[in-house]
Amino acid sequence: MTTETEINIVEKALLFATNAHTGQEDHGGAPYILHPIRVMLDVKKGGGTPLMQAAALLHDVVEDTDVTLNVIYEEFGLAVGRMVYYLTQAKGEETHREYIERLANDEESTSIKLCDLADNMDPERPTSAFGLQTRYAKTNWRLRFGTWETK
């Protein structure tokens, strides 16, 4: 059963992410916040907890805005902060591959990332380059099958 506190954390995350992504657009010119909302809805549809839904809404905040991971922990607690940590690549400190290997250690974050990748690979959603689609597909393969090899 979902508690009022859990519902409130999703609403709080939606407001926080909307504010953080204000003025940002995706490659097609749509408000960027629509991407985290779609990811959250997919997480919810897949049975994700309200804490996972909150993390889905916040999954790009640290990478794409001035908000720090410490702020996420302070505002949303350890569980959501942990998932956002796993969902955030430490730019300049780890390669994409290292990031995905770290992420793969957390089941909830992996589930969120798979929803993120599905939205990013949606053919109806414009992306910046074919190379990005290839990277998403390889990451999807690694998280689903536990290997980078496709043979």
* Cβ pair 80, 58 in contact under 8 A: yes
Q: What letter represents residue 126's amino acid?
A: P
Cα distances from 80 to residues 50, 57, 65, 70, in angstroms, run 10, 10, 18, 11
Q: Is 122 a catalytic residue?
A: no
Q: What DSSP designation does 30 have?
A: S
Q: Of 4, 11, 42, 64, which is the active-site residue?
A: 64
> Annotated catalytic, 124?
no
Distance CA 80, CA 54 (A): 7
Residues in contact with 28: Cβ distance below 8 Å, sequence separation at least 6, in sequence order? 125, 126
Task: Name the amino acid, one letter, at 139.
Answer: T
Per annotation, catalytic residue among 11, 63, 74, 98: 63
**How far apart are alpha carbons 61 and 59 in whole angstroms?**
6
Active-site residues: which are they?
63-64
